[in-house]
Chains A and B, each alone.
Chain A
Amino acid sequence: MNPSELLHRFHDVRSYVGWTDDDAVRVRQMAPLVKQQVAPLVDDFYAEIERHPESARAITGGAQQIRRLKRSLRTWLFEALECRGDSDFLARRWKIGLRHAEIGLNPAYVAAAVSRLRNGIVGLLAESGGDCTQSLPLVVQSYNKLLDIELGIIQSAYEEEYLERVKQAEHERSEVKFRLLVEAAACMVVILRTNRSIAYLSPYSEQFTGYGIAEIEGQDFVERFVPHAAQADVAAELDATIAGRPTEAFEAPLVRRDGSQRWLVWNTQRMEDFDGKPAVLAVGQDLTERRDAQELMLRSERLAGIGQMITGLAHESRNALQRIQSCSEMLELEVADNVEALRLVRRLQEAQDNLLRLFDEVRNYAAPIQLERKACRIEATWREAWGVLEGARRERDAVLLEQLDGADLSLEVDRFRMVQMFRNIFENALAACRDPMRITVRCRNVQFQQRPALEVRVADNGPGLSPQARQSVFEPFFTTKTKGTGLGMAIAHRIVDAHGGQIAVGTDWPQGAEFVVTLPRTVA
């Protein structure tokens, strides 16, 4: 309580008990008599304390402390008899109250102790009845008022301090409970300031993200952790929470220190007091595996559906194709002398070949991928794929460039599938780029999901991918070409997936499209 508040309370209490200047006169008049008996009063006071275990418990310093306390009590009584009301006087009274709270003395004993003093003083006054110039009852009344006012101030200080200590102890217990809960929780617990800056990360959060709080405290949570595409949505949710609307079950991606992305489901709510300021408490549960499993299941169902359809079509289509093939070969024999007719028959056969290729691509996409992994030099696979496309490159100015930078190019993969994957990527580039066409393959050693891996970047010098293409390039049947099934990159994605790796559109190749393939070196 500040001095002016204390002074106000003191005068209010004085007014409440009806203290007047006359009371002061009466007290001062009898003060010399009372002062003479202060020593026995004080001795009696502490003797009584020692007879009661609960009050005696507050005195832990033995005889030395009791001597000090007796001196303080004498001083207190002498000052009280002066009937002062200034700020210094009141500040000392306040300290006495605080001190009683510090030593943990129950307030009942404070009141009882003052009552004992009161009885002692009243007894003295009664015995001195013949020394009063004022009526004894009035004198006794004035002394009672004096002691009541003193008790009021002391108790007031005691209660404030006591309550503060109880509140502090409760707060500390609550803090301990919070910390135990947070530290044991197997989910992210994050506290953000109202400007979205990071104020707290639980131990699990530090381990999960790969960042210690010391290095990212104060940074914007959204900028640090959320991929660019999701930043606006996440920021909006956090801002709504700061404004008082809690969030439940909000799913958002999070990028960890190692670059891997996880999906979490968040609950957020506003906290009114974290280190004295409002904040946002965000609790996030990792649901990446569940999402991946759901996606895989959906994809499998879709593929199974396509597979079933394809199987159903397979028999009839291939029989029909066989009849077309057979008849066109026989027709070729019939028109062997007719150049124009032969040309038409050949065009018929080319169309049939295209149809067959389309058919095989769809079948390849839908069929389960069974890998035969062996130790392999990855550069051999992309060189083989480039060789397979020699026919397609025959009349093109297309060059394959390699920047291997000392990367370790051995890993365990299905060689056939790797050739297929690179072939699909190269075919994509050949279709998109004009001459002179340059494909650059760059490699480096990386870590992927905490395992050694190889990153292979394949980039061309073509027009690059539109924003829609970047989003959809790995979707089946997505194509920007007038010909083709749109399955090449979807198949590449399935092959990389089957190897436990990742294929993504690159973001930092200056001109053209880039695909980044990351392959774990060995089977998990």
Chain B
Amino acid sequence: MIRPLRIAVADDEPDVRDYFRRILPLLGHQVVVAAADGSELVDSCRVQQPDLIIADLRMPVMDGDTAVGEICRDRPTPFILVSAYSKHASIPDELGVGWAYLTKPIKRDDLELAIAGLFGGIDDRDHPR
């Protein structure tokens, strides 16, 4: 059983942000940020310091891979990038965090598995896989 996580989500589609807000709590987690672009995600994460980031790869203002790169330079945070094949993710090797890559459309099961893949087997310790 994974401990409850504080999760930051980012997607330029309002429906998708609503979806994350609805489904992630059903998996036992809390959505602390729901950003509409990469820049908003970076600013909000600086304040909220989430346990996990779930971000769309391609967004206005700043793409998801750029945003998580910036966030992790200050505070390494596991992340899941969600892609519609619009571009390849550009993730530096030296980030030093676990991360996952999902392709749209993602379902609840996909999220659960990906989160378990990063945090599975950990109860209260702060060590993602």
Interface residues of A (CB under 8 A from B): 311, 314-319, 321-327, 329-330, 333, 352, 356, 363
In the assembly, what is the distance between CA of A130 and CA of B16, in Å?
A: 147
CB <8 Å contact, B107 and A329: yes
Q: Name, among A317, A323, A327, the residue most crowded by chain B CB atoms within 10 Å (CB to CB).
A: A323
With A315-B84, A323-B15 as contacts: A329 and B23 at CB distance below 8 Å: yes
Interface residue B86 (Cβ < 8 Å from any Cβ of A):
yes
Complex CA–CA separation, A329 to B18 (angstroms): 11
Query: In the complex, how many angstroms separate the beta carbon of B46 from the nearest chain A beta carbon?
Result: 27
> Once the chains bind, are B84 and A319 in contact (CB under 8 Å)?
yes
Mark B1-31 against chain A: 1 for CB-CB distance below 8 A, else 0. Answer: 0000000000001011011001100100000
The answer to whether B104 and A329 have CB atoms under 8 Å apart is no
> Which of B13, B22, B105 has the most chain A CB atoms closer than 10 A to its own CB?
B105
Report A20 CB to chain B, min CB distance, Å: 114
For the complex, give the distance between the alpha carbons of A322 and B85 in Å: 13
CA distance A327 to B14 in the complex (A): 11
What 9 pairs across the A-B complex have the smallest Cβ distances? A326-B19, A318-B84, A315-B86, A325-B105, A322-B104, A321-B105, A318-B104, A322-B105, A314-B85
Complex partner residue of A318 from B19, B105, B107, CB under 8 angstroms: B105
Q: B13 and A319: CB pair below 8 A? A: yes
Contact, CB under 8 Å: B108 / A323: no
Say yes or no: A319-B18 contact (C-beta < 8 A), given A311-B85, A314-B85, A314-B86: no
**Can you offer 11 A-B residue contacts whose CB atoms are under 8 A?**
A314-B85, A315-B84, A315-B85, A317-B84, A319-B84, A322-B82, A322-B105, A322-B106, A323-B15, A329-B107, A330-B19
Q: Chain B: how many interface residues by the 8 Å CB criterion?
A: 19
User: Beyond A318-B84, A318-B85, A329-B108, is A323–B16 a contact (Cβ under 8 Å)?
Assistant: yes
**How near does chain A come to B73, taking the closest CB pair, in angstroms?**
27
- Contact partners of A311 in chain B: CB under 8 A: 85
Query: Is B103 an interface residue, CB under 8 A from the partner?
Result: yes
Distance between Cα atoms of A323 and B15 in the complex (Å): 6
B15, B84, B85, B106: which contacts A327 (Cβ < 8 A)? B15
**CB contact list, B80-129 vs A, under 8 A:** 82, 84-86, 103-108
Pairwise interchain contact B22-A330, C-beta atoms closer than 8 A:
yes
Contacts of B23 in A (CB 8 A): 329-330
Q: Are B22 and A323 in contact (CB under 8 A)?
A: no
CA distance A356 to B107 in the complex (A): 13
Q: Write out the residue numbers on chain B whose beta carbons fall within 8 Å of the beta carbon of A326.
A: 15-16, 18-19, 105
**Chain B 42-63, CB within 8 Å of chain A: the 1/0 string?**
0000000000000000100000
Contact B85 A329 (CB under 8 A): no
Instruction: Establish whether residues B108 and A319, one from each chain, have CB atoms under 8 Å apart when the complex forms.
Output: no
Other A-B pairs, 11, CB within 8 Å; known A323-B16, A324-B105: A311-B85, A314-B86, A315-B58, A321-B104, A322-B106, A325-B105, A326-B105, A327-B15, A327-B19, A329-B23, A329-B107
